[in-house]
Structure 1
């Protein structure tokens, strides 16, 4: 059968795209029992960003697609288990197979699992890395960037963000203490349109974050347009901007 020139051209154009994705397959296994873990979520990570994710089936199996050959690692979460990660491994042209072990927490209850968070757990469970990897809007500042610049105060970090105006002035009750307030430059016509702050996922006033030690901040998300995640879209709206700060777990 002779293929039409259009079909041949389409096959040539699609070939590089199909060849660029490498399969990463494996099973998520409970470390204590060597049994498969069903209903877990496995994230394929590259440079601290989520590039793919999948749910495990009844046999604990998962299948991901790496966007290209390179070095990756896996992060897994599952009900009743601690978040676990693999060492970095190489994904070649033929893909990779991984046997991923995940452990149960040290302390557990019948219906509730209590886990002391690690340094980055707030970012994983808060969705910071996933939103950063999806790149659907927002500006993300990591602990490494903050540490590299050696910022002295939170206001110093925010002043470096294009589109934000940071003000330090007296509180509305005319007390001696100074209050940090932030707003969008393009919204200057709305004099009282101040950005909303979240601290570790909870809505707070700016005074709750202005005295944070920058070295204790794990990550910052800043949204200055309509693409604000639902969890940060409060009843007050988000037209004046949203700033979500995540601190390092102790």
Structure 2
């Protein structure tokens, strides 16, 4: 005889229970209470092997086989709360009553459950931009004066003239307040008292300004700079940046990625 089928709200019925009277045994004795069924996945309907099916009240349990099927005999008749569990799925419980001589066939439908993983902290050194690889190689060789991003963040200068003012052999000259330029003190002054040999500038490897003109160093902002190389004369200047005017000094400026070149 088929029995009652529990119902749950929603589109998915997580447990389907069929109750039936067991056939009497020889001598008029009824069979023991038996519970069997299958455990399947909600999304695919595939069997969930290894799922644990357990009766909370008695501790009777069974493990689903490769087809998701399980079977065991309960120790007594009465009200049963049967639960199916498997790692990675939300457990499902069915509650029903079995009289002596009845058996239950249960279909458990388990929904996958997202497993919260512990927070992972990844530590490492940020990758160096290709242009800065040569910067640090030259710094290690000891030619010139080098200012790194770490130096800038430590000193926190307001202007580039503040940053370069402490470089040995560099003299900062200013006019109109913040408009400043560098004099390495290597060239002879002209008739008007100003050097006719100007410091040469390269920004990210490209010549900046005219060789015959002074460059306002405060047109650059310290917060935009990744590194600075200062060479007082032609000696030690990387070959690609040498030239007739390198004797008056060369300044290589390396910008941080995505930063504008000029002060607005």
Report the TM-score, using the length of structure 2 for normalisation.
0.42
Larger Rg: 2
Report the TM-score, using the length of structure 1 for normalisation.
0.44
Instruction: Give the number of the structure whose residues are more often helix, by fraction.
Output: 1
